[in-house]
Amino acid sequence: MKVQILGMGHSLPDRILNNQELEQMVDTSHEWIVERTGILERRIADKDMATSDLCWQAAKIALERSGTEANELDLIIVGTSSPDMLFPSTACIVQDRLGAGKAAAFDVEAGCTGFVYALGIAEKFLLSPEYKKILVIGADLCSRFTDYTDRNTCVLFGDGAGAAVIGKGNSGPGILSTYLGADGSGARHLYMPAGGSALPPSKETLEQRLHFIRMDGNEIFRFATKIVVKVSEKLLTGAGLSYQDVDLFVPHQANLRIIKTAMKRMRIPKEKTLINLDYFGNMSAACIPVGLSMAEEAGKLKNGDLVLMVAFGAGLSYGGILLRWGRD
């Protein structure tokens, strides 16, 4: 039995925030942003939109493409760090809106690794005979927690959602290996100080702008360049494969320089690497599923292609999934 992706979908807000607009907001320049990050523009959700709205739109497409009715779903997992609210889970809100009454539902909080974690967890559920079809979503409205007075972070992030319906196949395509990890000692390098139980919202937390992303970019950069290679090696070695076998490398889209460093170390060429941060920025947990969904739409994925996904993010969390694309 193999766990296969049966269909994918994605949803992006219409509003584009380009580098020229950011030049008016903080002390930055289009040239600096492109040279240091590779990002040209990003999508930003309207004020009246929540993460569940994008999840719902992406999920509807994934359900249709996979030929699945909402009431067939056994489980919904949403990987997000920008849920609609602290509770209930965004997955429960999506479950109700889809009419997926049979499905259990929960969120996974693993920062930008959210989709990879959610997919890895879902795969394990499918090993049980009780679970047949699972909806896995990676979604984030990063703009809600981005400080648009902080040039160190505001140029990086965007909003989006990507969804996959997964199920059981035979011996053909499907997930070959999964690897999830974390290094909690790096939690302080990427976090939102207030709003949780440690520091609930107050007049002071608002005045001190503690409800926004705080990041030590250089620490994350160093961590990312090492971990992407480590995860890739672990996945490929475990499956008895090598970098030359990879047809599509789908890295988390944090910074073009991180992706290029990984490509160089792993000798994976540009044509085999998915890059979409130029037009969408870092959409956190949505980067990988949006990228896969777009690649499929563009006809860049064919049955049997070896796809290597690797993500890292707040936690510090990391993980990857190696799969043969397609279904049987």
Task: Please state the separation of Cα 180 from the chain's center in Å.
Answer: 14
**Residue 276 annotated in active site:** no
What CA–CA distance (Å, rounded) separates 85 from 201?
13
Task: Tell me which of 8, 134, 155, 309 binds ligand ACO, using CB under 6 A.
Answer: 155
Task: Tell me which of 38, 167, 313, 326 binds ligand ACO, using CB under 6 A.
Answer: 313
Closest separation in Å from C-beta 321 to ligand ACO: 17
Interacting span for ligand ACO (CB under 6 A) from 32-40, 70-78, 119-127, 235-243: 32-40
- Tokens matching residue 182: 């974390």
Give the H or E element holding residue 324: strand 317-324
* CA-only gyration radius of the chain, Å: 19
What CA–CA distance (Å, rounded) separates 141 from 54?
9
Choose, from 92, 112, 154, 287, the residue flagged as catalytic: 112
Interacting span for ligand ACO (CB under 6 A) from 28-36, 83-91, 95-103, 267-275: 28-36
CB contact at 8 A, 316 and 189 = yes
Q: Which residues pair with 175 in a beta bridge?
A: 323
Interacting span for ligand ACO (CB under 6 A) from 27-35, 44-52, 100-108, 242-250: 27-35
CB contact at 8 A, 33 and 22 = yes
Contact between 152 and ligand ACO (CB under 6 A)?
yes
Smaller CB separation from ligand ACO, 36 or 60: 36
Contact between 190 and ligand ACO (CB under 6 A)?
yes
Q: Residues 6 or more apart from 266 whose CB is under 8 A from it? A: 229, 232, 243, 249
Closest separation in Å from C-beta 150 to ligand ACO: 9
Smaller CB separation from ligand ACO, 114 or 326: 114
Contact between 112 and ligand ACO (CB under 6 A)?
yes
Three-state DSSP state, 124: helix
Contact between 175 and ligand ACO (CB under 6 A)?
no
CB contact at 8 A, 312 and 227 = yes
Smaller CB separation from ligand ACO, 151 or 226: 151
Smaller CB separation from ligand ACO, 7 or 281: 281
Helix axes 217-238, 256-266, angle to 10 degrees: 30
Contact between 19 and ligand ACO (CB under 6 A)?
no
Helix axes 114-126, 287-297, angle to 10 degrees: 80
**Residue 282 annotated in active site:** yes
What CA–CA distance (Å, rounded) separates 304 from 294?
18
Choose, from 10, 19, 252, 255, the residue flagged as catalytic: 252
Which sequence positions are flagged as catalytic? 112, 252, 282
Q: Contact positions toward ligand ACO, by CB under 6 A? A: 28, 32-33, 36-37, 111-112, 151-152, 155, 190, 215, 217-218, 220-221, 224, 254-255, 282, 284, 313-314
